[in-house]
């Protein structure tokens, strides 16, 4: 039995800073749900690695699909506001 939370909805949302976010709702095996809002930049690599081309493709998948796979090299991506 899979006990990992499953994505039941996903859409693009406007963040308070005007940048795109991904609003996701997950359902746990006990039926409880939780809403998550993640910066799009934080999940973009994971979506690309999973060949997800539409947020609708996330529905029914485990929430861990939103976590970028670990690689053997360090990312040098600079985030806005980073010094």
User: What's residue 2's pLDDT?
Assistant: 67
In this prediction the pTM is: 0.75
Q: How far apart are CA 72 and CA 69, in angstroms?
A: 10
Mean per-residue pLDDT pooled into runs of 10, the chain (83 residues): 88 90 96 94 88 92 83 42 38
Going from N- to C-terminal start, the domains of the chain cover 6-64
User: What's residue 78's pLDDT?
Assistant: 41
DSSP 10-42: EEEEE-TTS-EEEEEEEE-TTS-EEEEEEEHHH
Please, what's the b/e burial string for 67-81 (b: 16 or more CB within 10 A of its CB; e: otherwise)? eeeeeeeeeeeeeee
């Amino acid at each position: 039995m899979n006990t990992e939370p499953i994505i039941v909805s996903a859409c693009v949302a406007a963040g308070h800073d005007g940048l795109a976010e991904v609003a996701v709702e997950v359902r746990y095996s006990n039926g409880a749900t939780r809403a998550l809002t993640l910066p799009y930049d934080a999940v973009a690599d994971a979506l690309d690695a999973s060949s997800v081309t539409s947020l609708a493709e996330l529905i029914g998948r485990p929430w861990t699909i939103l976590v970028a796979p670990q690689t053997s090299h360090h990312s040098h991506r600079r985030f806005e506001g980073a010094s």
